[in-house]
Structure 1
Amino acid sequence: MLKSIRSKQIIVTAAIVLLVAFLFSRDIKGLVKPKEETSNVPAGGQMMSEAAEQQISLTEVSTIGKNMINAGLAAEITSLENAYNKAADKDKVAAAKLLAQKWDDLEQSVPSALYLEIVAKESQLLPNWLKAGEMFLKAFDNSRDSLMQPALLQRANIAYSNALKIDSTNLDAKTGMGISIVNGMGAPMQGIAMLLDVVKKDPKNLKANMSLGTFAIKSGQFDKAITRFIDIIAIKPSPDAYFYLATAYENLGKNAEAIDAYVKSKDLAANPTLSKFIDSKVLELKNKI
């Protein structure tokens, strides 16, 4: 019995690790990480102190980001940064928006999020807080830095909190807040309740549904996960939804259903790395039927 449970846990972890790695290359957001990759995120109910906000240095992340791109693009970023630093107060927001967009275009979500936060703080407008929160969640999803992850998650939480202060009924803000809570900024069930409330008001909300589905897999509630991902696929089929559906089926021993879902994930993704994994997975499952 214990061996069976451990095997299922290995299947979940391995599947999510591979899918997250694949999805990072495709810029799909809002996914739950494997347990071993979230061990340094605050436990349920453990809110980060305000000092954590100081853990992210814009200068440092900019330097790191520029080291990851070619010299021409790095020079362009430096030019935009110089323009931002020299800009009059009335022009700071526009300059920060340009930098946020440029960093996002270069798939560097941490500096992009920090500049979007600057824009939101200056403007105090709902759309800008939502954009900042979304980018911080993207940065949290993409980061492998265990020291930076909690700070990114906290910044996302703060951004969505500010959005809700402006409009307490906004579903995008509630969804983002719920995702940040589920991932560590408070008691997970508080976040789940918030996401369920969003889905009740907007049944086709993909982001909220996806977070609920991945949390169900992470917590071993595979029947619930299957129902959730079938609903998601009915709204909008995607490789990640099919992959998670396949993972849930596999953990319940429904190998034929798992094979069908894996193949559909492969066909939609058209990604060589994922295809190779799925081909071996399908072969393995066929041998069990």
Structure 2
Amino acid sequence: MKRQQIIVTGTGVLLLLALYFFGQTVPPQKKMEPSEAGTSGASISRISTEDILRASQSKLTPTQQEYVTRLQNAVVRGDVKVQQLNAYRQLAAFWRDSVQSGFLPFAYYTGEAAKLENSEKSLTFAARLFLESLRGQDNPAIKGWMATNAKELFEKALELNPQNDSTKVGLGASYVFGSSAGSPTEVMQGIQRILEVARRDSTNMYAQFMLGWGGIVSGQFDKAIERLTTVVRHQPANIEAILLLAQVYQQQGNKSAAIQWYEAARRQIDNPEMIKEIDQSIQALR
């Protein structure tokens, strides 16, 4: 089974995982993104921050546009770091709280504020905003833009604390999930960064989980199963790892194992939408 096929097959469950873990933040964004880019994801190679912000602002009311423009001008004209930082934070809060489909500008301005603040905590928080949404992103251009932002933020955090293993794993994962059309070179570059952590500390389940994901992205399904099984053994309530195991086994044609893992996930979930999706997957296997 080709790598692209397993990712597409798992999209429904992964979107529900986004809903489960992040509430309403991610799904509305996905409805907006094709129009943001101006064309279909398959035909786009690059997209700029200006494109993202312009498309997002075009959906605002005149009053909202005026407010955003005023804050943007405060950033450009502000010659005091505190003034610029305050403007970035206000812009991030606006896109987070006032616009249903404002995740991309929210993440961007959160990242810009983090760069000015230059603390490890703020930089990794902003980087993870991009990374967590990146994993479910289908639009190649937006995926590349998000990955670039995530990498930059993780790298700046590592400059402050080069020994932070979670940050190293996050940086590696940004290469894995942000690779252009599943570029083997970029995927393996990311996997090697994560392996550096896992080889030194085999109990780091964040690294093991991301290596499992990396195995799926690179088409190394046996390795993915090995890593994800390790994660579930140490973290029995890790729903995402359980569902990924079910999907990998399903793609390999091991119906009984796939059903076993789908049922294991179902027992731990109380979200009706996710349960419905899982039930449909189980039924299709019987």
Q: TM-score, normalised by structure 1?
A: 0.72
Read off the aligned partner of 2:208 and give its amino acid letter.
N
1:92 is the counterpart of 2:84: yes
Q: Is the 8 A contact 2:187 2:214 kept in 1?
A: no
Q: How does 1:3-42 map to 2 (within 5 A)?
A: 5=1, 10=5, 12-27=6-21
Q: State how far apart, in whole Å, the 2-side matches of 1:81 and 1:139 are.
A: 26
1:188–1:217 CA distance, 2 compared to 1 (3 A): closer
Q: Is the 8 A contact 1:249 1:255 kept in 2?
A: yes
1:250 is the counterpart of 2:250: yes
Q: Is the 8 A contact 2:96 2:106 kept in 1?
A: yes
1:229 is the counterpart of 2:223: no
> What residue is the counterpart of 2:33 in the other structure?
none
1:134 is the counterpart of 2:121: no
Structure 1: gaps spanning 5 or more residues:
30-36, 43-47
Instruction: Give the one of 150, 162, 171 matched to 2:165.
Output: 171
Per-residue CA deviations over 1:67-100 (Å, capped at 9, x if unaligned) read 7xxx9xx96x975874675586323323423443
Q: Is the 8 A contact 1:117 1:129 kept in 2?
A: yes
Read off the aligned partner of 2:83 and give its amino acid letter.
D
Q: State how far apart, in whole Å, the 1-side matches of 2:43 and 2:263 are.
A: 34
Q: State how far apart, in whole Å, the 2-side matches of 1:23 and 1:270 are.
A: 12
Q: State how far apart, in whole Å, the 1-side matches of 2:8 and 2:42 are.
A: 16
Q: Is the 8 A contact 1:130 1:160 kept in 2?
A: yes
> What residue is the counterpart of 1:283 in the other structure?
283
1:119–1:281 CA distance, 2 compared to 1 (3 A): closer
Q: Is the 8 A contact 2:71 2:91 kept in 1?
A: no
> What residue is the counterpart of 2:111 in the other structure?
117
1:103 offset after TM fit, Å? Answer: 3.6
1:150–1:171 CA distance, 2 compared to 1 (3 A): same
Q: CA RMSD in A?
A: 3.6
Q: State how far apart, in whole Å, the 2-side matches of 1:104 and 1:95 are.
A: 14
Runs ≥4 residues deviating over 6 A? 37-42
Q: Is the 8 A contact 2:13 2:277 kept in 1?
A: no
1:125–1:180 CA distance, 2 compared to 1 (3 A): same
> What residue is the counterpart of 1:216 in the other structure?
215
**Identical-residue share of aligned pairs (%):** 24
> What residue is the counterpart of 1:61 in the other structure?
56
Q: State how far apart, in whole Å, the 2-side matches of 1:279 and 1:95 are.
A: 47
1:216 offset after TM fit, Å? Answer: 1.3
Q: State how far apart, in whole Å, the 2-side matches of 1:264 and 1:187 are.
A: 33
1:226 offset after TM fit, Å? Answer: 1.9
Q: State how far apart, in whole Å, the 2-side matches of 1:85 and 1:131 are.
A: 25
1:104 offset after TM fit, Å? Answer: 4.0
1:58–1:265 CA distance, 2 compared to 1 (3 A): same
Q: Counterpart of 1:147 in 2: which secondary structure?
A: helix
Q: State how far apart, in whole Å, the 1-side matches of 2:238 and 2:168 are.
A: 23
1:140 offset after TM fit, Å? Answer: 3.0
Read off the aligned partner of 1:161 and give its amino acid letter.
E
1:180 offset after TM fit, Å? Answer: 1.6
Q: State how far apart, in whole Å, the 2-side matches of 1:107 and 1:232 are.
A: 33
Read off the aligned partner of 2:283 and give its amino acid letter.
L
Q: Counterpart of 2:125 in 1: which secondary structure?
A: helix
1:57–1:276 CA distance, 2 compared to 1 (3 A): closer
1:14 offset after TM fit, Å? Answer: 4.5
Q: State how far apart, in whole Å, the 1-side matches of 2:4 and 2:218 are.
A: 10
Q: State how far apart, in whole Å, the 1-side matches of 2:191 and 2:279 are.
A: 34
1:269 is the counterpart of 2:261: no
1:119 offset after TM fit, Å? Answer: 1.2
1:245 offset after TM fit, Å? Answer: 0.9
Read off the aligned partner of 1:151 and give its amino acid letter.
W
Q: State how far apart, in whole Å, the 1-side matches of 2:41 and 2:223 are.
A: 22
Q: Is the 8 A contact 2:52 2:104 kept in 1?
A: no
> What residue is the counterpart of 1:197 in the other structure?
196
